[in-house]
Amino acid sequence: MPPVRLRPVEPSDRPFLLQVYASTRYDVAALVDWTEQQKTEFTTMQFEAQDHYYHEQFLACEFSIIEVDGQAVGRLYLDRRPEEIRIVDIALLPQHRRRGFGSQLLHEILAEARSRGLPVRIHVESDNPALQLYERLGFRALGRVGVYHFMECTSDPTT
pLDDT above 70 for 101: yes
Residue 83 lies in a domain: yes
User: Worst-scoring range by mean pLDDT, 25-34, 42-51, 63-72?
Assistant: 25-34
What's the domain count of the chain? 1
CA dihedral 80, 81, 85, 90 (to 10 degrees): -50
CB-neighbour burial class of residue 22 (10 A; exposed 0-12, middle 13-18, buried 19+): middle
pTM of the model: 0.89
Residue 60 falls inside a structural domain:
yes
- In tens, the pLDDT along 70-92 reads 999 999 999 999 999 999 999 99
Q: What is the mean pLDDT of residues 11-38?
A: 83
pLDDT score at 120: 97
Whether 61 is covered by a domain: the verdict is yes
**pLDDT at residue number 135:** 93
Q: Residue 159: inside a domain, yes or no? A: no
Answer yes or no: is 158 within a domain.
Answer: no
Q: In which domain, by residue range, is 43 found?
A: 4-153
Read off the pLDDT of each residue in 98-123 and give the average, rounded to a whole number: 94
Domain assignment of residue 57, yes or no = yes
The CATH number linked to 30 is 3.40.630.30
The answer as to whether 33 is a domain residue is: yes
Residue 34 has what pLDDT? 78
Residue 140 clears pLDDT 70, i.e. is over it = yes
> Mean pLDDT over all residues of the chain?
90
Q: Is residue 149 part of a domain?
A: yes
